[in-house]
A and B are shown apart, each in its own frame.
Chain A
Amino acid sequence: MIRTVVRDVPRTVAYLLSGVLIGVPLLVVLLVLSTLGLALAPALVGLPLLAVAVLSGIPVGALERRRLALTHIPPPPDPHATPAEPGLAAWARLRLTERATWRELAYTGLLGFVLWPLDALVLFGALGLPGAMIGAPVQLATTSSASGDARIAKLWLIDSYGQALLCTAAGVVLLLALLRPLVLYTRARAALARLLLAPSEAEAERRLAEVTRSRARLVAAFEAERRRIERDLHDGAQQRLVSLSMTLGLARLDAPPELSDRLAAAHREADQVLGELRELIHGIHPQVLADYGLPDALADAADRSAVPVELDVDLPRFAESVESAAYFAVREALANIGRHSGAGRAWISGRYAGGRLRVEVRDDGTGGADPARGTGLTGLADRLAVLDGTLAVHSPAGGPTVLSLEIPCPQR
C-alpha cells in the first residue's frame, strides 16, 4: 500500500502542478472576459464576449479530460454531439443547448477560482512545507544573517544545526505522513473533474445512437454510390458500345468481301465486351431488384446459379436498403454453394411475418462452411447488422448448410 502510494506520487504532483499552471492564466482570462463582456453588454459588443466566456469551458474540458490520464483514470469520451450541419453558428447553437457545455463551464469556473488555489495549497502543505523543513540545515548554512539564525518556511526560527537536524527529521516524518492524504486528495479532485466532464448516461446513449445512425448513413452512401456507378456505366459505356455494334453491323452490310471478315471480327469483339459489361453492371446492382423487388430478383439469382435452385418466396416490397442487403446475402450464399459446397440442389425460401423478413438458403452439400474464413459473409453480416438484422450460418461437417437471415423491417 505504501508502495502504491509512493508510486502514485509523481503523477499526483504532475496532475496538481499542471492544474495550477493552467489555472492561473485561466483565472486571468475568465476575469477579463466576464468583466469586459458584462461592461460592454449594453452596447451589444459584449454579448459575443460573454458567449466566448460560456464556451471557454469546452477547450478547458477537453484539456482536463486528457489531463485525467495522469491520475490513471482513462480519459472519458467527449460528451458533445457532432453538429448536424457545418459552420461555426450551427456549432455554437448546438453547444449552447447542451448540458455538457454548462457542466464544463461550471468546472472551468471552479478550476479558475477554487480548484487551482486549493491544489496549490495542498501541494505546498504536503510537499513544500516538509521540503522546507528537510532543507533546514542547508538554509541555515546559506543564510548569511548576522544573527546566525534562519526562519524555516517563515514559521520557525532556528539558530543551531541541532535544531536544524531535528527539523529535517520532523520534515521527513511529515512528508511520509502527508503522502497518502495527498494522493487521496488528488483522487477526489479527479473524481470531481470526471463527474463534471464525462458524458452522463443519457449522453453516452445518445452518442451510441449517433454512431448507429452514422453507420447506417455510411451504408446508404455506399449503396447510393453503387447505384451511381451502375447508372453511369448504363448511360455511358453500355449505350456507346451498343451504338458501336450497330454501326459495325450496318457497315458489314455494305462492306466489300475483303473487309467484311475483319469487320465481323471487330463486331464479335464488340459484342463480347457488351456481354461482359452487361454482367458487370448486373453484378453491381440488378435493375430487376429496384423494379420488381426481392421475389423476382431472387428468381433471377436462382436463374444464374450454377446449382439448380428451388424457389419458395412470397414477399412484399421493402425499403431499398433491406431488399438490397437480403439480395446480396442470398447471392453470396449461392456463389458459395456453387464454389465450395459440392451440392446438387439448393432451396431458397423467403417469408415476411411479425414485422420480420426471413430468408433461408439451404443446400444438400457437404457442409463444413466457416463464415469466419471468407470475408464475404462477414461483410454481409455487417451490412445486415446496420439494419438490426442477423445472419446465421449453420453448417455441420457432412452438411447440409443452412444460411438464414432475419431483418426487422416495415413493409413498403
Chain B
Amino acid sequence: MPPALKIVLAEDSVLLREGLVGVLTRFGHEVVAAVGDAESLTAAVRSYAPDLVVTDVRMPPGLTDEGLRAALELRAANASLPVLVLSQYVQRAYAAELLDTGDGTGVGYLLKDRIGQVEQFAETVERVAAGGTVVDPEVVRQLLRRRRDPLAALTPREREVLALVAEGKSNGAIARELVVTEAAVGKHIGNILGKLDLPPAEDTHRRVLAVLAYLRG
C-alpha cells in the first residue's frame, strides 16, 4: 500500500468533485480541501501544503483555463509541488505548458475520461505525487499520427516506447506492456535519447526531455 497522500482538489462540478473525493478516499488518500474555483485552490494550497494538487482546466470565474493558470502559478511558486491537471480536451498545448514548469517532473495531464478507470487513475495520482511525468495516452496517440522531425527518425517500436514513457511508465511496466525484456526497453530508450540528441546524463530528467521534445513537435 502506497503512503496516503494529502490532496487538494479543485473541480467546479459538484457531481464530479464528490465523485473524485470518493475515488481518492477509496484508495486511502486524504482530500484535505475540495474547492470549486481557481482562487480557492490557491488559498487551499497555501494553507494545507498538500502532497498533490488535482485540478480541472476549465474553472470559474471565467470558465476558460483558470484551473490550468492557477496550477502553473502554483508550480512557479513551488516547482516541486506535484500537480495533476484533469482536462476535458485532448490538447497538446495545455500539456506542453504544464511540462514546461519546474523541471517537468511531478506533473500530469490527464483526460477526465480516465477517472472512470479508477485503478489506473489511482496509479497515475501516485506516480505524479512521486515526481513522475504523465501525459494522457490520447494526446500521445494523436501526436503519433503525425510524422514530424525529429521524431521521424524513430522506428515504429521506438515510437511505441516513447509513447509509454510519456504516459509515465517505468522500464519494467513498458517491458510488460510490450511483452519484451527490460533490457530491450532500455536499449530502445537509449536509441530514442540518442536520436533526439539528448546525451546521457541524469536518468529521469532525460526521459522528461524526450517527452517534451515529443509534445513540442
Counting CB contacts under 8 A, is A258 at the interface?
no
What's the Cα separation between A231 and B148 when bound, in Å?
Answer: 33
Q: A242-B116, A303-B146 are in contact. Are A247 and B19 (CB under 8 A)?
A: yes
Is B118 in contact with A250, judged by CB distance below 8 angstroms? yes
Counting CB contacts under 8 A, is B112 at the interface?
yes
Interface of B is mostly: helix
Please give the distance in Å from A191's CB to the nearest CB on chain B. 60
Q: A234-B88, A287-B64 are in contact. Are A242 and B93 (CB under 8 A)?
A: no
Q: Which residues of chain B (86-107) have a CB below 8 Å from chain A?
A: 88-94
Please give the distance in Å from A58's CB to the nearest CB on chain B. 47
B58 cross-chain contacts in A, Cβ below 8 A: 234, 287
What's the Cα separation between A270 and B20 when bound, in Å?
Answer: 17
What are the 9 A-B residue pairs with the smallest beta carbon separation, nearest first? A245-B116, A249-B118, A296-B93, A291-B65, A239-B13, A246-B19, A249-B116, A243-B15, A242-B112
Counting CB contacts under 8 A, is A238 at the interface?
yes
Interface size for B (C-beta < 8 A) is: 37
Counting CB contacts under 8 A, is B206 at the interface?
no
Q: What is the interface of chain B, defined by CB distance below 8 A to chain A?
A: 13, 15-16, 19-20, 22-23, 26, 57-58, 63-65, 68, 88-94, 111-113, 115-119, 121, 142-143, 145-148, 217
B121 cross-chain contacts in A, Cβ below 8 A: 249
Q: Which residue of B lies closest to A310 (CB)?
A: B148
Q: A275-B113, A303-B145 are in contact. Are A240 and B15 (CB under 8 A)?
A: yes
Partner of B89, one of A274, A286, A302: A286
Q: Which residue of B lies closest to A281 (CB)?
A: B88
The size class of the interface chain A forms with chain B is: 35 or more
Please give the distance in Å from A332's CB to the nearest CB on chain B. 19
What's the Cα separation between A309 and B147 when bound, in Å?
Answer: 8
Partner of A231, one of B63, B92, B146, B147: B63
Is A292 in contact with B117, judged by CB distance below 8 angstroms? no
Is A278 in contact with B113, judged by CB distance below 8 angstroms? yes
A249 cross-chain contacts in B, Cβ below 8 A: 23, 115-119, 121
Q: Which residue of B lies closest to A287 (CB)?
A: B89
